[in-house]
Amino acid sequence: MHISIVTLFPDMFTGVFDVSIVGRAQKKNAVTIHCINLRDFSDDAYKSVDDHPYGGGTGMILRVDVMDRALTYAKHSIPDAVPHTVLLDPPGKTYRQHDARRLSAVGHLILVCGHYEGFDERIRSLVDEELSIGDYVLTGGELPAMVVVDSIVRLLPSVLSKEDATTLESFGEGGLEYPQYTRPITYKQQTVPDVLLSGNHANIAAWRKRQRYLRTKSRRPDLLTEQTDLVSSDP
């Protein structure tokens, strides 16, 4: 998989993708990540990429012509892969785990990071979809890009050592993950549930499914409408 990130601040990504799972994935050649500096596609000596909005208003708006040149370059930078372009913007569709799984199958993913006051509206016609990581506003799209990359790369084949690591977790099969414990068995009067020490795998599986339901019902009841197997465990 190839990931290109169009950004005004490529230095923000220095080191972030060199460690942990994303770093190992790159060493395994499971993914390549390339940052594209939007300023490289400016047409003036000042490397300007934005301008004042027509009609007045505060802030500066990213220019469509500069972005068009950057995206044209990005889309042709990996000749053997079909590009899919995502604009990271607060009004976009909320990013969910099923989006991560869908995008992990893309051959060449291009993430567009905004900055300043926003985009020229015509930039939206240059991308395939718009995504948001939550209902809040950041100074730019760089942090959302990091979130999207991390969530996708861990799903790529051979990246994680255990194949079920991305399914037996929150949102992996719908709902939230069940509680987990390790040593010591008792700590400050809190004890590991007996069923987990029983060695009875059928009982453990039933307990975990029940705990997934209870935790999801308590913390994220909206997810229950998407998972009938969890709903069916309600007595």
Q: What is the DSSP string of the chain?
A: -EEEEEES-GGGGTTGGGSHHHHHHHHTTS-EEEEEEGGGG--STT---EEPPTT--SS-EE-HHHHHHHHHHHHHSSTTS-EEEEEEEEEEEEP-HHHHHHHTT-SEEEEEE-BTTEE-GGGGGGSSEEEESSSS--SBSHHHHHHHHHHHHTTSTTTSSSGGGGTSSTTTSSSPPPP---S-SEETTEE--HHHHS--HHHHHHHHHHHHHHHHHHH-GGGGGG-HHHHTT--
Q: Which domain CATH number covers 209?
A: 1.10.1270.20
Percent of the chain residues past pLDDT 70, beyond the cut: 91
Query: What range does the domain containing 71 cover?
Result: 2-153
One domain, residues 191 and 90 = no
Domain count, the chain: 2
**pLDDT tens per residue, range 23-49:** 999 999 999 999 999 999 999 999 999
Residue 161 lies in a domain: no
Per the prediction, the chain carries an average pLDDT of: 91
**pLDDT tens per residue, range 90-118:** 999 999 999 999 999 999 999 999 987 88
